[in-house]
């Protein structure tokens, strides 16, 4: 190959970069919303079960594929399958998915920027109003912010794996964790917070149904950045001296802990502000919940630290959510870029320009589909509901496709690459792996139970959303 492949500087570098990818809006926004809608602790338990039993093995398999082949997802499937067309197609799906996820992820990240600007100009009061979120999402000025965001992301990506991605994550991830814990402690001291804690930690299984279970699995995949070729690509930058099982475990623990804390922050806060919150109302909550509740949490600090102090705290927090989203966005966009570099043998700089143009083409319709353009707002219709372009991308690529890609990864590793090939790779840098309990579990489940569960979830999601 004519160009030098990027590499993480160390095991910690990989863990932070992968955690930087994993920790994002999925943890800080989607997880608390889903937990509040779906029975608090009951959802948490199902989620944890999926992380341990299904996601962790898939995560190891993805990293192993990347490290073994030293390629992006398309190249990895192609190389390991000996050039099969079918698997080439699957690899393409693993590129298309992050590409489209980057589109709707950018739209949400742009809202964070708008919030930050409003906060800096004294708008905390306004943001705490329930009506503000819808109004903000429909503002045409969001375009300016979108351009700013995309420029920022592509400048970081120009810095490469070590100078861009890893350096960003090293600073931001620890800061984010500390801020989140500090804020959670503050909320837990509020009066009535205990009602929310109970709601979060005492399971209510009455809300459990198939849709909730499917949602938990899709959320677990999304949160760990699985099924998107990200870990295949990051695996290709991973050192052969380190243990894949150990490093991915750290990433999964970090990601799940942050999601857990985000729930512990948001749910008690909801009840602290309105002790009479009817949990049935919560079941219709959406992303907007977080975007209007967070400003309320900060506004409540006014009594203690004044309006200015409360605004500063809000600015710091939103900045961190923004950075968590940024590290994720950078990782998502790195996937197609690494594919353009490997498969078309072009320079990183050129690949970035190609990707920037493609991104701009797709993000524009997604941005205007929240009220600015009628055509994109009422873009299509399925499952008996009118859907915007933004909804379509989110339904297809977030809710539906991830388990499918996960399924193909399992089938591929177990039946094409073969479990013995996978085990050989997992043993590199981890002499204790062979014969361990984990090894036996993966041999037993990766070609059988795990793909079956993923396929069932995929089919029932299709049935539920589109039919
Ligand atoms: N895992 C990230 C989150 O939880 C989102 C993400 C998805 C990042 C896909 C990379 C790829 O928000």
Q: Residue 417 sits in a domain of what CATH number?
A: 1.20.1740
Rounded to two decimals, the pTM is: 0.87
pLDDT (average), residues 260-284:
73
DSSP 8-state secondary structure symbol assigned to residue 392: H
Q: CA-to-CA distance for 230 and 225, rounded, in angstroms? A: 6
The torsion region of residue 113 among left (phi > 0), alpha (psi -120 to 50) and beta comes to alpha
DSSP 8-state secondary structure symbol assigned to residue 385: E
Q: For residue 278, is pLDDT > 80?
A: no
Total domains in the chain come to 1
The mean-pLDDT minimum among 23-27, 64-68, 265-269, 339-343 falls in 265-269
Q: By percentage, how much of the chain surpasses pLDDT 70?
A: 95
| Cβ neighbourhood burial of 159 (10 Å; 0-12, 13-18, 19+) | middle
Pocket of ligand 1 (CB under 6 A): 21-22, 24-27, 98, 101, 222-223, 225, 228, 230, 328, 331-332
Nearest CA to ligand 1 atom 6: 225
From the CA of 328, give the closest atom in ligand 1: 8
For a mutational test of ligand 1's pocket, the pick from 26, 28, 109, 403, i.e. the residue with the most ligand atoms closer than 8 A to its C-beta, is: 26
For a mutational test of ligand 1's pocket, the pick from 101, 153, 220, 225, i.e. the residue with the most ligand atoms closer than 8 A to its C-beta, is: 225
The upper half-sphere exposure of residue 465, i.e. CA atoms within 13 Å in the direction of its Cβ, equals 20
pLDDT for residue 281: 58
Structure tokens at 257: 């802990």
Nearest CA to ligand 1 atom 9: 225
Phi first, then psi, for residue 285 (nearest 5°) are: -70, 160
Q: CA-to-CA distance for 422 and 61, rounded, in angstroms? A: 7
Bridge partner list, 381: 386
From the CA of 255, give the closest atom in ligand 1: 4
pLDDT (average), residues 277-284:
58
Distance 121 CA to ligand 1 centre (A): 30
Question: Look-up: residue for tokens 């579990």?
Answer: 441
Bridge partner list, 387: 380
pLDDT (average), residues 25-47:
87
Distance 24 CA to ligand 1 centre (A): 6
Distance 301 CA to ligand 1 centre (A): 31
What pLDDT, in 10s, does the model give residues 429-467? 999 999 999 999 999 999 999 999 999 989 988 888 888
What pLDDT, in 10s, does the model give residues 226-263? 988 889 988 998 989 999 999 999 999 999 999 999 88
Nearest CA to ligand 1 atom 8: 328
CA angle 57, 61, 65 (to 5 degrees): 175
Distance 97 CA to ligand 1 centre (A): 12
Over 72-116, what HEC string results?
Answer: CHHHHHHHHCCCCHHHHHHHHHHHHHHHHHHHHHHHHHHHHHHHH
- Asked if 22 and 249 count as a contact pair (C-beta separation under 8 A), the reply is no
Distance 43 CA to ligand 1 centre (A): 19
Query: Pairing relation of β-strands 385-387 and 380-382?
Result: antiparallel
- Asked if 228 and 335 count as a contact pair (C-beta separation under 8 A), the reply is yes
Q: CA-to-CA distance for 215 and 43, rounded, in angstroms? A: 9
Q: By percentage, how much of the chain surpasses pLDDT 90?
A: 33
Tallying the residues shown for the chain, one arrives at 467
Q: For residue 374, is pLDDT > 90?
A: no
Nearest CA to ligand 1 atom 7: 225
What pLDDT, in 10s, does the model give residues 184-228? 888 888 777 888 888 888 888 888 888 888 889 888 988 998 988
Model confidence band, residue 4 (pLDDT cutoffs 50, 70, 90): low
pLDDT for residue 1: 41
Distance 409 CA to ligand 1 centre (A): 18
Distance 94 CA to ligand 1 centre (A): 14
Which residues make Cβ contacts (< 8 Å) with residue 293, sequence separation at least 6? Answer: 266, 269, 270, 273
Domain that holds residue 228: 2-466
């Amino acid at each position: 190959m004519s160009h030098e492949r990027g590499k993480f500087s160390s095991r910690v570098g990989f863990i932070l970069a992968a955690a930087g990818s994993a920790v994002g809006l999925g943890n800080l926004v989607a997880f608390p919303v889903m937990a509040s809608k779906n029975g608090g602790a009951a959802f948490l338990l199902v989620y944890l079960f999926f992380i341990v039993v299904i996601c962790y093995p898939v995560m190891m398999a993805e990293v192993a594929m990347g490290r073994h082949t030293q390629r992006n997802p398309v190249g990895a499937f192609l190389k390991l399958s000996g050039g099969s067309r079918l698997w080439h197609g699957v690899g393409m799906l693993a590129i298309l998915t992050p590409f489209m996820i980057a589109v709707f992820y950018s739209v949400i990240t742009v809202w964070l920027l708008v919030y930050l600007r409003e906060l800096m100009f004294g708008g905390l009061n306004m943001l705490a109003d329930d009506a503000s979120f819808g109004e903000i999402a429909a503002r045409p000025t969001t375009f300016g912010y979108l351009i700013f965001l995309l420029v920022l992301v592509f400048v970081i990506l120009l810095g490469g794996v070590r100078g861009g991605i890893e350096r960003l994550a090293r600073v931001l991830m620890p800061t984010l964790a500390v801020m989140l814990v500090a804020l959670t402690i503050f909320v837990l001291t509020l009066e009535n917070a205990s009602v929310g804690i109970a709601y979060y930690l005492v399971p209510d299984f009455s809300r459990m149904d198939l849709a909730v279970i499917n949602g938990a699995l899709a959320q677990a995949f999304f949160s760990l950045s699985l099924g998107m070729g990200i870990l295949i690509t990051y695996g290709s930058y991973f050192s052969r001296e380190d243990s894949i099982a150990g490093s991915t475990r750290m990433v999964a623990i970090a990601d799940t802990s942050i999601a857990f804390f985000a729930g512990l922050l948001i749910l008690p806060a909801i009840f602290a502000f309105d002790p009479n919150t009817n949990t049935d109302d919560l079941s219709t909550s959406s992303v907007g919940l977080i975007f209007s509740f967070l400003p309320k949490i900060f506004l409540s600090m006014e009594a203690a630290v004044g309006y200015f102090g409360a605004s500063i705290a809000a600015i710091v927090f939103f900045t961190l959510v923004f950075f968590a989203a940024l590290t994720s966005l950078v990782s998502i966009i790195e996937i197609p870029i690494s594919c353009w570099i490997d498969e078309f043998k072009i320079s990183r700089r050129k690949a970035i320009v190609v990707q920037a143009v493609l991104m701009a083409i797709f993000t524009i319709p997604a941005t205007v589909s929240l009220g600015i353009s009628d055509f994109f707002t009422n873009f299509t219709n399925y499952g008996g509901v009118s859907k915007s372009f933004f909804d379509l991308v989110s339904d297809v690529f977030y809710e539906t496709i991830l388990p499918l890609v996960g399924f193909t990864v399992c089938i591929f590793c177990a039946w094409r690459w073969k479990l013995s090939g996978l085990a050989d790779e997992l043993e590199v840098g981890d002499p204790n792996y062979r014969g361990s309990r984990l090894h036996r579990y993966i041999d037993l489940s990766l070609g059988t139970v795990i793909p079956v569960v993923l396929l069932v979830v995929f089919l029932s999601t299709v049935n539920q959303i589109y039919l």
